[in-house]
Structure 1
């Protein structure tokens, strides 16, 4: 039996530099295929996601792939129904021709160990992938040319090892159009089942979900704003809402494929973990974060705080507040969290505080470009949405209209190019409040009183209102979403429609 690590000689037949064969078990592959052809229900009983590329023998891979296609059509798969698809298969001819299909079912003993055979096929595929990673690592490390980049090699090796750990095996990386369309239909089905607007991870705000369809896997989303606009608060709201939704779905027993919540990794380069936790506790208990920090709370407030704290004990929200992270270190930590906790959303606060590899540090624009590309690569590699916060340039303050634009993204146009979606958070009341005229006294003239009264009316109109500007979206239209902002507890929420205002019922 050719299981693992048999010796083979060099191509010249000398045998002087014997090398080990790649791990494989051809007999286990044949036994598993035979069991599958005898009883098609074996496919449903396999606990792992076995793919055609996990088979070492190419003909076995093609047979398995065709079996899966026929099963998807609800057909009964036997050597007879497979025959038309392999009449001209050269690989099958080498194994004995069409009679080989019948030979596979000759030994029904494979039915007893089908699960074990599938697991072994899968494990050996991972070992072959690991061998390939090791060979590439050695070959790259032996390169001593001037262009060598040891840190880059370590990052590439770590990425390749993560792929093996996640079970990618020795996949070619190319996906057939049929597989791609199947995934697209699954996404559309998820949106349909959610009520027609949510195909990604929920933000927790219905109005935002309806506009952007949720946060989609493999997307890099940029959330930008000037200081004081509340971008960290909004990102924290999104993270908390996604994590709490996952927690509820877990308790309700909703199958993973239909969930819209997610476990969250929050990389906070600006605020400490306890500061973020304070914000979330403030939001959930209804107590201002300022009062929490200063201890100005009543006994009732403390009970509310304790209750909120108990409810959030098991929240799947993981906070990493390590300062001055490099993009490579962040990707390594994110992979680890994905492997250990299966996170479904990554938040980075904020992009400009990340550091590059070191090569581009002499040019900030190049460094930011490297960081934005790294975040996009991370989103695709882990198949999760990455929400990265970003600062805006001071050009916003020089304009009469303070609404942010794509050109305001700070330090690099590559942020706009790499992002699948660019969101701006904008609060007009922040700017109106800064323009408060002199507070009138009894002896002041009418102009001062009128100016302040006019300002007060304007402040009343915009107070507590916020806008999420969708400036770029690869999945849909751009536009604005109005939200409510409660500054006391730093919480964004859906804004009630004008149709529900009291005057609408008169």
Structure 2
């Protein structure tokens, strides 16, 4: 039987690592607080920079002390490790003092960090190569296609490339360049603001690349219709890419709402297959417009942020990066790691979505669920404090829009048929309430003058 392992038998399979450099970097950080920034700046963005897991624990503890504004020295470090129950595991007080004694000065901290970074990248290359080899051999049992494996390989290599370049890229801007950029934008208005189907909302809360926008409401309030309305408008009318991650509804259900809204036919007739001849003609026309639109829908349940990042990298590599990623909805996404409680997990998802918006320079729009508190108030109008399970959603979002319909609670309300966008947080503008028309039977929301 033919095998494909052509690796020379004499190759050194010892994982690339330099424990002395790791010790020296940690010792430098314990000697001088300035060395903390020197090390972090070099290894930022590198996964598992330390080969020795004990060193990784010590490093993370040092960062926690530094971030908390506390003194950073062998005594405070030893005390914190003791509190965490990690001291004996990492070598005890003697090992912490040995770290400090391993370097005469903290002046070379960045150099030690460069050595750590290089070895960490080499280990990442080995891990990636091993994973890809395994995927190739296991394709028959996992049923992954060759195209899927190649896409994964490209995304992984692109991630490695970005990590390798990250430590050498500077994000510093001289003040004169900052001022020039502001005036250039004023004189030449940017054309990358996301177009919205509601003119008044567009003027109050323009959504720009790098923004995390949260659309929040109670169940059945219309979150999915808002998200789909934005996606349909951006992709079909303006021919700009949109990627919708629908974790709550299937692609068929999303498609039904999309066609009903675009064709302006009653959703219940479409689902019941009772369209008239004229309505069916409208549906066929809508189908052709939708087919030509750069709109993608993924209905994979419980997606983690890492999967969205991988998918966006694949699209970026093909020159198909969308203008917007739309997530329906945030609280049912999957956290990367299990946390003590769901609040911490949701916070981490919000942080991850904000990072995606900034990394890929796109607009990320995520639906979020509100809690029941508003329903027990006399005034049912939602507020920011009603965001369910997380304060991190509000903290990380550039814009938070709360959805409200008075006839949801009172069918005889004089405002029946009206739909409010309550801009409750607007980092670059003012808060306001924009009233539009609810056309749920057509699966859409329109400006009042279009109703």
TM-score (norm 1): 0.56
Query: Does the Cα contact within 8 Å between 2:214 and 2:365 map onto a contact in 1?
Result: yes
Aligned position for 1:372: 350
Deviation at 1:328, TM superposition (A): 1.5
1:164–1:230: structure 2 CA closer, same or farther, 3 Å change rule?
same
Confirm whether residue 476 of structure 1 aligns to residue 429 of structure 2.
yes
**1:137 is matched with which residue: 121, 126, 135?**
121
Question: Which among 390, 403, 417 is matched to residue 464 of structure 1?
Answer: 417
Partner residue, 2:312 = 334
Partner of 1:26: none
Give yes or no for the alignment of 1:385 onto 2:377.
Answer: no
Kindly indicate whether the alpha-carbon contact (under 8 Å) linking 1:263 and 1:316 is maintained by their aligned counterparts in 2.
yes
In structure 2, what is the equivalent of residue 407 of structure 1?
385
- State the distance in 2 between where 1:186 and 1:246 align: 24
Report the secondary structure of 1:485's partner residue. strand
Q: Distance in 1 between matches of 2:255 and 2:187?
A: 35
Match of residue 216, structure 2, among 221, 224, 240: 224
Aligned-residue offset at 1:190: 4.9
Residue 429 of structure 1 is matched in structure 2 by 407
Post-superposition CA distance 1:378-434 (Å, at most 9, x none) = 11100111001000011111111111111000101111111111101111111112x
CA distance in 1, matches of 2:162, 2:176: 23
CA–CA distance in 1 between the matches of 2:188 and 2:382?
A: 33
Equivalent position of 1:16 in the other structure: none
Tell me, yes or no, if structure 1 residue 352 matches structure 2 residue 331: yes
User: Match of 2:306, SS?
Assistant: helix
- CA 1:386–1:159: 2 relative to 1, 3 Å: farther
Structure 1 residue 178 displacement after superposition: 3.8
1:242 aligned residue: 234
Match of 1:207 in 2: 200
CA shift in 2, pair 1:476/1:314, >3 Å: same
Change (3 A) 1:133 1:286: farther
Q: 2:170: which partner in 1? A: 172
* Residue in structure 2 matched with residue 494 of structure 1 by the alignment: 447
Contact 1:162 1:335 in 2 (8 A): no
Any residues of structure 2 matched to 1:267-306 within 5 Å, and which? 267-306=245-284
Q: Contact 1:464/1:486 (CA < 8 Å) preserved in 2?
A: yes
Work out the number of aligned pairs and report it.
310
RMSD: 3.1
Instruction: Indicate if the aligned counterparts of 1:464 and 1:487 stay in contact, CA closer than 8 A.
Output: no
Preserved CA contact (<8 Å) 2:312 2:321: no
Q: Deviations for 1:172-211, whole angstroms, at most 9, x for unmatched residues?
A: 23333344334433443454x88xxxx7111121111111
TM alignment of 1:50-89, pairs within 5 A: none
Cα distance in 1, alignment partners of residues 176 and 159 from structure 2: 26
1:15-41 CA deviation, whole Å, 9 max, x = no partner?
xxxxxxxxxxxxxxxxxxxxxxxxxxx
Structure 2 Cα separation of the partners of residues 413 and 429 of structure 1 = 28
Aligned with 1:321 (options 299, 306, 325): 299
Structure 1 unpaired stretches of 5+:
1-131, 144-153, 248-261, 434-454, 502-506
Describe the SS at the equivalent of 1:411: coil
The answer on whether the counterparts of 1:133 and 1:157 sit within 8 Å (CA) in structure 2 is no
Cα separation, 2, equivalents of 1:242 and 1:224: 20
| 1:350 to 1:139, Cα distance in 2 relative to 1, 3 A | same
Give 1:161 deviation, angstroms: 3.8
Residue 124 of structure 2 contacts residue 160 of structure 2 at CA under 8 Å; is this kept in 1? no
Normalising by structure 2, we get a TM-score of 0.63
Q: Which of structures 1 and 2 has the bigger CA Rg?
A: 1
Looking at structure 2, the residues matched to 159 and 177 of structure 1 have their Cα atoms a distance apart, in angstroms, of: 32
State how far apart, in whole Å, the 2-side matches of 1:309 and 1:174 are: 48
C-alpha contact 2:125 2:160 (8 A) present in aligned 1? no
Q: 5+ unaligned residues in a row in structure 2: which ranges? A: 1-115, 128-152
- Using CA pairs under 8 Å that are at least 6 residues apart, name the structure with larger relative contact order, 1 or 2: 2
In the aligned structure 1, how far is the partner of 2:257 from the partner of 2:118?
45
How many angstroms apart in 2 are the aligned matches of 1:134 and 1:295?
61
Task: Name the SS of the counterpart of 1:422 in structure 2.
Answer: strand
* Distance of 1:423 and 1:295 partners within structure 2: 35
